[in-house]
Amino acid sequence: MSDIVEIDYQFNFINGLKINIPLKIDDKTAQTVVKHPDDLPKWTALEFNQCKNCPLTTAQQANCPLAVQLLNIVENFNQVQSTDEVNLEVTTPSRKIIAKTTAQNSVSSLMGLIMATSGCPHTSFFRPMARFHLPLAEIEETIYRATSNYLLSQYFKFKKGKEVSFEMDGLVAVYENMQIINQGMAKRLKVACKEDSSVNAVIILDMFAQNLSILIEESLEEIENLYDSYLELG
């Protein structure tokens, strides 16, 4: 098995514009493997609209790891509007997914993947989900994946003798932190971008984070009957 997982986002816009964003992700750490220029723009500096919950300091690094990873999106989608129609092709090691959608939805899917693998301490929870990336996931699919991921994390904690909880408070806390991250990134991108596709992509992610606690309750109730056979096992 390769040590690098390659995921390729190919954007074929109706107006003829084509954008290709290939990502290389370390299979063991689930972090993006990429080199960036030394002369990074000012909006990527750690202290530029730094997130209120950021644990990093300029003594550790000069630039925000997430902002640096978003540089590729800003450079490629600076002239793209949110509602521009696109035929998206996402190629992973296992499959290719093709869908007709909008710029903001397709960029939001890519941005979620980049955030998870960026090295930001608050997005590390999402690395397992990024390793098994599902492009353009619907809300119900994301809820299923996020809750499953969280409960699996509790299983691994239990295996190592650590205290665990099967309530969803911990998952809600993760997404509350993500709201702060999303707001910080939106402020940076408003400075960096001429058009709104990248900013609105963050807003889509933030809307999900804001409504997570309600979405969990409603979505899990809807699928509870699918687990009746497990309940019968005793």
**What pLDDT band is residue 99 in, cutting at 50, 70 and 90?**
very high
pLDDT of residue 47: 95
Sheet holding 4-13, edge to edge: 18-26, 4-13, 85-91, 96-102
pLDDT of residue 234: 60
Strands 96-102 vs 4-13: parallel, antiparallel or unpaired: unpaired
**Of 10-14, 82-86, 119-123, 202-206, where does mean pLDDT reach its minimum?**
202-206
pLDDT of residue 151: 95
Q: For the chain, give the mean pLDDT.
A: 90
174 φ/ψ angles, rounded to the nearest 5 degrees: -60, -45
pLDDT of residue 141: 92
Q: Which two three-digit tokens encode residue 153?
A: 């994390």
In three-state form (DSSP H/G/I as H, E/B as E, the rest C), the secondary structure along the chain is CCCEEEEEEEEEECCCCEEEEEEEEECCCCCECCCCCCCCCHHHECCCCCCCCCCCCCCCCCECHHHHHCHHHHHHHCCCCCCCEEEEEEECCCCEEEEEEEHHHHHHHHHHHHHHCCCCHHHHHHHHHHHCCCCCCCHHHHHHHHHHHHHHHHHHHHHCCCCCCCCCHHHHHHHHHHHHHHHHHHHHHHHHCCCCHHHHHHHHHHHHHHCHHHHHHHHHHHHHHHHHHHHCCC
The listed range with the strongest mean pLDDT (66-75, 151-160, 176-185, 202-211) is 151-160
Angle between helices 169-192 and 212-223 (to 10 degrees): 130
The listed range with the strongest mean pLDDT (70-74, 82-86, 206-210, 229-233) is 82-86
Model pLDDT for residues 192-218, shown as the tens digit of each residue: 887 677 787 888 887 878 888 788 888
Of 109, 91, 123, 70, nearest to 205 by C-alpha is 109
- Listed by start position, the domains of the chain span 7-231
State the average pLDDT over residues 171-186: 90
- Give the pTM: 0.88
pLDDT of residue 194: 75
Model pLDDT for residues 61-71, shown as the tens digit of each residue: 999 999 999 98
**What pLDDT band is residue 38 in, cutting at 50, 70 and 90?**
confident
Judge residue 104's burial from the number of C-beta atoms within 10 Å of its C-beta, 0-12 exposed, 13-18 middle, 19 or more buried.
buried
pLDDT of residue 2: 63
